[in-house]
Amino acid sequence: MSGPRYPGFDTLALHAGQSPDPATGARAVPVYQTTSFVFRDAAHAASLFNMERAGHVYSRISNPTVAVLEERMAALEGGVGAVATASGQAALHLAVATLMDAGGHIVASTALYGGSHNLLGYTLRRFGIETTFVSPRDPKNFQREIKGNTRLLFGETLGNPGLDVLDVPAVAEIAHAAGVPLLVDATFTTPYLMKPFELGADLLYHSATKFLGGHGVAIGGVLVDSGRFDWEKSGKFPQLTSPYEGFHDMDFEEESGTRAFLLRARREGLRDFGACMSPMTAFQILQGIETLHLRMPRHVENARKVVAFLASNPAVGKILYPELPQHPDHELAARLLPRGCGAVFSFDLNGGREAGRRFIEALRVFSHLANVGDAKSLVIHPASTTHYRMSDEDLARSGIGPGTVRLSIGLEDAADLVEDLGRALAAASKAR
């Protein structure tokens, strides 16, 4: 553009959402560890409750420290705003509960985190919200399952466990033709590797526990709205476009236009479901975001070195990383993820469950635990942990083999990671 320019990503990661504290001059984001905020007088209190003035009332609804994280994530993603939540799962639940009632229907990718699959496939079904799961490999699969009561299309930008790349532009086009929004879980890509709103997604969320925080000390989520979906024009979302008895007969779209979704998510969702983020958690996640633009390139660089090493080792079978030419989404990844495909991936170890067990136990640098996106490298062997009770046949139906290992590549010296994996692969080979 000719004329003014926006601040760059790196600057926003450090500054967006916070000026030096006007009361104290503190440069770092203060932790406003308080449940509630004093009203100036009775009229001020009434105006805050009736949304005539901006401000904070009670930290379940909003808090100054949490608001910095929300505004910063909205800035990094190019959205109108955000709502921080107690976890990534809380963010997904908040999105769904804001958009639909019992009788609603979701078309979701099969390539989802297990917790998301449980929420959509089992728990929400108990409350009358049905989900049809489709392979994300062909966007037309989403189109085929859209019904009259469909209110949302949903997928992960990089899906579990095979790193299926969601064709965001194609699925967004299908969603918009049906008058419904596309929600994506962007946890594995972060705004550094992909900007889903620029590709057509309408809503997104992160498990902030992972790369955003990066240090593995805090559980949190953040739900961001692009503000681009026209709820009124769609006509399918009375939750946002008709007077709501549960909030002073407010018509959220009429009241706030582009902010309608977030207004209801905050004023109803946080108020009633209560899955808010604590100020200390927001502070901790903000410390991570301030270096996101430095960490992500290193995560990707290390992941590429590890993938190259594994690809040359005879003890390793299939590697599911989209930068490899044999990955089915290789070309799509090159188009949508030019900065890299992240640092979480799976590979198959020759030798089955026993090889997997030996491999895990021989590792010294990688930590064996159930998380991803940490600065430290992590590993898990699903067949001996999260999926221990499943038969090999059932595992296969989930896209997991008895020797499948998932790695989350951290920020250590890549040579140390390669050495650690080499030793563990040698140990695993003895199982055969």
Partner 1 sequence: MELVVGGAKAFAYTAGREIDPARPSVAFVHGAGLDHSWWGLQSRYFAYHGSNVLAVDLPAHGRSEGKPLESIAAIADWVFALLSALKLDKAAVVGHSMGALAALEFAARHPQAAERIALIGIAYPMKVSDAFLDAARRNDHAAYDMETIWGHAPQVPLGGNPNPGMWMYGDTLARLERLAPGVLYADLKACNDYAAGFESAARVECPALFVLGARDMMTPPRAAEGLVRAIRNSSSVRVAHSGHSLMAEGPDATLDALIGFLAA
Question: Which one of 95-103, 120-128, 252-260, 402-410 is the stretch in contact with partner 1 (CB under 8 A)?
Answer: 252-260
393, two tokens? 């046949």
Instruction: Tell whether residue 25 is a contact of partner 1 (CB under 8 A).
Output: no
Of the residues 9, 45, 71, 130, which one makes contact with partner 1 according to CB under 8 A: 71
Task: Give the C-alpha separation, 291 to 273, whole Å.
Answer: 32
Residue number with CB closer to partner 1 (257 or 328): 257
Instruction: Tell whether residue 275 is a contact of partner 1 (CB under 8 A).
Output: no
210, two tokens? 């992972």
- Compute how many other C-beta atoms are within 10 angstroms of the C-beta atom of residue 23: 7
Residue number with CB closer to partner 1 (15 or 335): 15
Q: How far is the CB of 256 from partner 1 (least distance, A)?
A: 5
Of the residues 104, 181, 200, 227, which one makes contact with partner 1 according to CB under 8 A: 227
Residue number with CB closer to partner 1 (106 or 262): 262
- Locate tokens 């949490």: which residue? 66
Instruction: Tell whether residue 90 is a contact of partner 1 (CB under 8 A).
Output: no
- Print the SS3 string covering 344-372: EEEEEECCHHHHHHHHHHHCCCCEECCCC
Residue in 200, 198, 166 with CA at minimum distance from that of residue 342: 166
Instruction: Tell whether residue 239 is a contact of partner 1 (CB under 8 A).
Output: no
Q: Could you tell me the sign of the dihedral formed by the alpha carbons of 157, 418, 362, 400, in that order?
A: positive
Instruction: Tell whether residue 249 is a contact of partner 1 (CB under 8 A).
Output: yes
Of the residues 89, 226, 377, 408, which one makes contact with partner 1 according to CB under 8 A: 226
- Print the SS3 string covering 396-420: HHCCCCCCEEEEECCCCCHHHHHHH
Q: How far is the CB of 70 from partner 1 (least distance, A)?
A: 4
Residue number with CB closer to partner 1 (66 or 341): 66
Inter-residue contact 162 to 346 (CB < 8 Å): yes
Question: Which one of 76-84, 121-129, 206-214, 364-372 is the stretch in contact with partner 1 (CB under 8 A)?
Answer: 76-84
Instruction: Tell whether residue 173 is a contact of partner 1 (CB under 8 A).
Output: no
- In our burial notation (b when 16+ CB lie closer than 10 A, e otherwise), range 288-327 reads bbbbbbebbebbbebbbebbebbeebebbebbbbbbbeeb
Angle at 428 between CA 426 and CA 430, to 5 degrees: 80
Strand order in the sheet with 316-320: 316-320, 344-349, 404-408, 378-380, 367-368
Task: Give start and end residues of each alpha helix (H) in 100-165.
Answer: 114-118, 124-126, 140-144
Instruction: Tell whether residue 180 is a contact of partner 1 (CB under 8 A).
Output: no
Helix, strand and coil percent figures for the chain, each rounded to 5: 45, 15, 45
307, two tokens? 């993938």
Q: How far is the CB of 72 from partner 1 (least distance, A)?
A: 9
Instruction: Tell whether residue 3 is a contact of partner 1 (CB under 8 A).
Output: yes
Task: Give the C-alpha separation, 83 to 73, whole Å.
Answer: 9
Q: How far is the CB of 12 from partner 1 (least distance, A)?
A: 7
Of the residues 24, 35, 50, 312, which one makes contact with partner 1 according to CB under 8 A: 50
First-to-last C-alpha distance (Å) of the chain: 61
Instruction: Tell whether residue 56 is a contact of partner 1 (CB under 8 A).
Output: yes
Of the residues 51, 324, 390, 426, which one makes contact with partner 1 according to CB under 8 A: 51
Task: Give the C-alpha separation, 373 to 71, whole Å.
Answer: 22
Q: How far is the CB of 395 from partner 1 (least distance, A)?
A: 41
140, two tokens? 């037309």
Q: How far is the CB of 249 from partner 1 (least distance, A)?
A: 6
Q: Give the count of residues interacting with partner 1 (CB under 8 A).
A: 56
Of the residues 230, 323, 348, 420, which one makes contact with partner 1 according to CB under 8 A: 230
Instruction: Tell whether residue 60 is a contact of partner 1 (CB under 8 A).
Output: no
Q: How far is the CB of 92 from partner 1 (least distance, A)?
A: 18
Residue number with CB closer to partner 1 (216 or 227): 227
Instruction: Tell whether residue 4 is a contact of partner 1 (CB under 8 A).
Output: yes
Please give the residue ranges that form the binding site for partner 1 (CB under 8 A): 1-7, 11-12, 15-19, 47, 50-56, 62-64, 66-68, 70-71, 74-75, 78-84, 226-228, 230, 232, 243, 249-251, 254-259, 262, 266
